[in-house]
């Protein structure tokens, strides 16, 4: 009876891999030239590494079978100590593979640099001279994506449209916390960081609809932080832009502040007009009225530094405060580097162990510091006996 039950269970287990047929390996099915090159890099690197992995796995089975205890025909040479041929194979093959992977990694790291302007539309199709890329500003919000088209004067939420075979330059930032901008069929993931501007140069080669999302956990609504990317012909893209403009609605500063508040499963939103310089104010952390821009603060701090390059460090120009960076980049002198007469001049800020007692001094060995012991009262007598 149990054997009869095991057969259907085994057949069901064997059928489970068939469900994978409903999955789409988007990384292996790219629609953009950058993603195609990244896919080819993955396949090449995997193939080269398999040149070591497959022989090792095969030889493991061969040796285990050949030298098993029950094999009467096995050969064993107890006097074997060295084989030049074997040493050459063992060392040369991995070395050649490392050289090949290093060369490919070095070249691809520079060729696929997201800040590098595109040099081709697709294999054999260079970018025409004088071609200006489409500018798109992507902003990660909680938990949605805002896309601003500065040249077209429009903006969308959770919807991205790209013309096919047209270079695109993304400027990417975040309004609140770290995220990653990732469309697997278009290019690799790029960090979206508050107060910073990242860049991605890419191109879409096939029309269709793909999905993009944030690949960096950023809170409760992270799993729904997704958007649709529509690949369109240039004519269809122009009609899409006209349709967005015809819908009316605008994105002023007040509307953006409300939009930036945490929300989940936000539907597609379209804006026919956008507050000028909104993206720059997001990067500089000064969207709200009356809030100073980060760039202005840094410029003012640099001016206060008086042109001394040694003062242009983290904390230069910052106001003093408890635990804050020193003003003008001045580094405090450590205690071990102070002169003997300079030590012990400041009051001890530790709370005295006994109420009503004055704070001790920083001077080592001062009798008043003995009153600052953190030992419980029932252990102080024992500690005194030990010192005696």
- Give the model confidence (pLDDT) of 30-41 as tens digits: 999 999 999 999
Q: What SS3 state is found at 46?
A: helix
Q: Please, how many CA atoms are within 13 Å of residue 324, restricted to the half-sphere of its CB? A: 11
**Among residues 232, 257, 283, which one ends one of the domains?**
283
Residue pair 350/372 in contact by the 8 Å Cβ criterion: yes
267: in domain: yes
Residue pair 169/134 in contact by the 8 Å Cβ criterion: yes
Quote the CA–CA distance of 51 and 335 in Å, as a whole number. Answer: 59
371: in domain: no
Structural domain boundaries, residue 257: 122-283
Largest pairwise CA distance in the chain: 93
3-state helix, strand, coil in the chain (%, to 5): 40, 20, 40
Same-domain status, 136 and 270: yes
The domain that contains 156 carries what CATH number? 2.60.40.420
- Chain centre to alpha carbon of residue 304: 34
Instruction: Please give the DSSP secondary-structure letter assigned to residue 275.
Output: -
Instruction: Spell out the residues 6+ positions from residue 49 whose beta carbon is closer than 8 angstroms to its own.
Output: 97, 101
Same-domain status, 236 and 105: no
Quote the CA–CA distance of 123 and 351 in Å, as a whole number. Answer: 72
pLDDT score at 76:
76
Residue pair 146/155 in contact by the 8 Å Cβ criterion: yes
Same-domain status, 107 and 164: no
Instruction: Please give the DSSP secondary-structure letter assigned to residue 166.
Output: -
User: 184 vs 8, 45, 108, 120, 380, CA distance in Å?
Assistant: 38, 19, 18, 19, 66
Instruction: Spell out the residues 6+ positions from residue 359 whose beta carbon is closer than 8 angstroms to its own.
Output: 347, 348, 349, 350, 352, 368, 372
Record the pTM. 0.71
160: in domain: yes
Quote the CA–CA distance of 35 and 126 in Å, as a whole number. Answer: 17
% of the chain at pLDDT higher than 90:
57
Quote the CA–CA distance of 138 and 151 in Å, as a whole number. Answer: 14
355: in domain: no
User: 27 vs 138, 182, 183, 232, CA distance in Å?
Assistant: 21, 11, 9, 20
Q: Please, how many CA atoms are within 13 Å of residue 249, restricted to the half-sphere of its CB? A: 13
Instruction: Spell out the residues 6+ positions from residue 36 whose beta carbon is closer than 8 angstroms to its own.
Output: 30, 122, 205
Same-domain status, 151 and 271: yes
Q: What SS3 state is found at 206?
A: coil
Structural domain count of the chain: 2
Same-domain status, 132 and 102: no
Q: Which residues of the chain are modeled with pLDDT < 50?
A: 1, 306-329, 347, 373-374, 383, 386-388
User: 99 vs 40, 96, 195, 345, CA distance in Å?
Assistant: 18, 5, 39, 62
257: in domain: yes
62: in domain: yes
Q: Return the closest-CA partner of residue 264 out of 223, 209, 214, 314.
A: 223
Q: Return the closest-CA partner of residue 168 out of 153, 156, 186.
A: 186
Same-domain status, 93 and 133: no
326: in domain: no
Same-domain status, 106 and 199: no
**Among residues 265, 283, 301, which one ends one of the domains?**
283
Question: Could you read off the pLDDT of 298-319 as tens digits, one per residue?
Answer: 877 777 654 444 444 444 444 4
Query: Which class for 298: exposed (0-12), middle (13-18), buried (19 or more C-beta within 10 A)?
Result: middle
Q: What SS3 state is found at 249?
A: coil
Same-domain status, 243 and 265: yes
Quote the CA–CA distance of 321 and 75 in Å, as a whole number. Answer: 79
Same-domain status, 107 and 150: no
Same-domain status, 252 and 160: yes
pLDDT score at 8:
73
Same-domain status, 263 and 132: yes
**Among residues 77, 112, 147, which one ends one of the domains?**
112
Same-domain status, 155 and 104: no
Quote the CA–CA distance of 260 and 146 in Å, as a whole number. Answer: 9
pLDDT score at 208:
95
């Amino acid at each position: 009876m149990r054997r009869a039950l095991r057969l259907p269970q085994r057949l069901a287990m064997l059928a489970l891999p068939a469900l994978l047929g409903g999955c789409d390996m988007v990384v292996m099915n790219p629609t953009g030239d950058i993603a195609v090159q990244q896919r080819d890099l993955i396949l090449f690197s995997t193939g080269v590494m398999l040149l070591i992995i497959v022989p090792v796995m095969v030889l493991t089975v061969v040796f285990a079978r050949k030298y098993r205890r029950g094999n009467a025909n096995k050969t064993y040479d107890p006097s074997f100590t060295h084989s030049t041929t074997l040493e050459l194979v063992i060392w040369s093959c991995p070395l050649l593979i490392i050289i090949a992977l290093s060369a490919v990694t070095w070249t691809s790291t520079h060729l696929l640099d997201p800040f590098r302007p595109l040099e081709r539309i697709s294999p054999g199709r260079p970018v025409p001279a004088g071609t200006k890329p489409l500018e798109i500003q992507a902003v990660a919000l909680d938990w949605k994506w805002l896309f601003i088209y500065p040249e077209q004067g429009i903006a969308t939420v959770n919807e991205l449209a790209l013309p096919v075979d047209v270079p695109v330059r993304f400027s990417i930032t975040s309004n609140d916390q770290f995220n990653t901008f990732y469309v697997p069929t278009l290019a690799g993931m790029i960090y979206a960081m508050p107060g910073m501007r990242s860049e991605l140069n890419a191109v879409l080669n096939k029309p269709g609809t793909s999905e993009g999302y944030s690949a960096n956990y950023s809170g409760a609504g992270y799993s729904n932080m997704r958007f649709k990317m529509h690949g369109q012909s240039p004519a269809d893209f122009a009609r899409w832009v006209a349709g967005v403009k015809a819908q009316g609605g605008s994105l002023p500063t007040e509307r953006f502040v409300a939009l930036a508040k945490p929300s989940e499963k936000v539907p597609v939103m379209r804006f026919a007009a956008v507050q000028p310089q909104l993206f720059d104010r997001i990067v500089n952390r000064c969207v709200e009225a009356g809030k100073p821009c980060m760039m202005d603060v840094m410029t003012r701090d640099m001016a206060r530094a008086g042109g001394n390059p040694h003062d242009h460090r983290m904390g230069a120009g910052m106001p003093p405060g408890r635990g804050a960076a020193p003003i003008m980049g001045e580094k405090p002198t450590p205690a071990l580097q102070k002169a003997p007469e300079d030590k012990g001049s400041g009051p001890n800020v530790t709370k005295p162990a006994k109420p009503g007692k004055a704070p001790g001094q920083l001077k080592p060995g001062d009798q008043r510091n003995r009153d600052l012991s953190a030992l419980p009262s029932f252990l102080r007598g024992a500690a005194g006996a030990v010192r005696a």
